[in-house]
């Protein structure tokens, strides 16, 4: 562990559910970028939270910003386990001729 993280504590807390902001009944991502320049690139904003208050606040802000009522909060309590596909074996390196 790096020296500056010696006293850093990570706690795992149980949540009742995950609360996510959906648009028109469908899950969404939010990406924010500057139209004047493309550095450092787009930033992706959180749309799911373990606390419903944060999700409701975000849905209200998005509805106001886009003048709609289609952003809503969904409570997610079950899910499908997804596993990462196996990584391909690295190709053997060719030996350099001397």
Alpha-carbon gap, residue 64 to 59, rounded angstroms: 9
pLDDT-above-70 percentage for the chain: 92
Q: What is the mean pLDDT of residues 33-50?
A: 84
Is residue 84 situated within a structural domain? Answer: no
Kindly report, residue by residue over 52-97, the tens digit of the pLDDT: 999 999 999 999 999 999 999 999 999 999 999 998 888 888 777 6
Is residue 33 situated within a structural domain? Answer: yes
Question: Domain limits at 47?
Answer: 11-76
Is residue 50 situated within a structural domain? Answer: yes
Question: pLDDT class for 2, splitting at 50, 70, 90?
Answer: low
Nearest residue to 29 via CA among 20, 37, 38: 20
Is residue 1 situated within a structural domain? Answer: no
Secondary structure letter of residue 16 according to DSSP = S
Compute φ and ψ for 18, nearest 5 degrees.
-110, 135
Is residue 52 situated within a structural domain? Answer: yes
Strand partners, 44: 31
Is residue 90 situated within a structural domain? Answer: no
Which residue has tokens 């902001």? 21
Task: Please tell me the predicted confidence (pLDDT) of residue 34.
Answer: 79
How many independent structural domains does the chain possess?
Answer: 1
Is residue 27 situated within a structural domain? Answer: yes
pTM for the full model? 0.74
């Amino acid at each position: 562990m790096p020296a500056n993280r010696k006293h850093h504590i990570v706690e795992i807390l149980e949540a009742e559910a995950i609360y996510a902001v959906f648009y028109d009944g469908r899950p969404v991502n939010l990406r924010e970028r500057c139209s004047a320049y493309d550095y450092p690139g787009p930033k992706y904003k959180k749309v799911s939270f373990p606390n419903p208050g944060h999700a409701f606040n975000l849905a209200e802000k998005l509805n106001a910003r886009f003048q709609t009522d289609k952003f809503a909060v969904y409570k997610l309590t079950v899910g499908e386990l997804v596993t990462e596909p196996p990584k391909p074996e690295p190709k053997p390196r060719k030996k350099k001729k001397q």
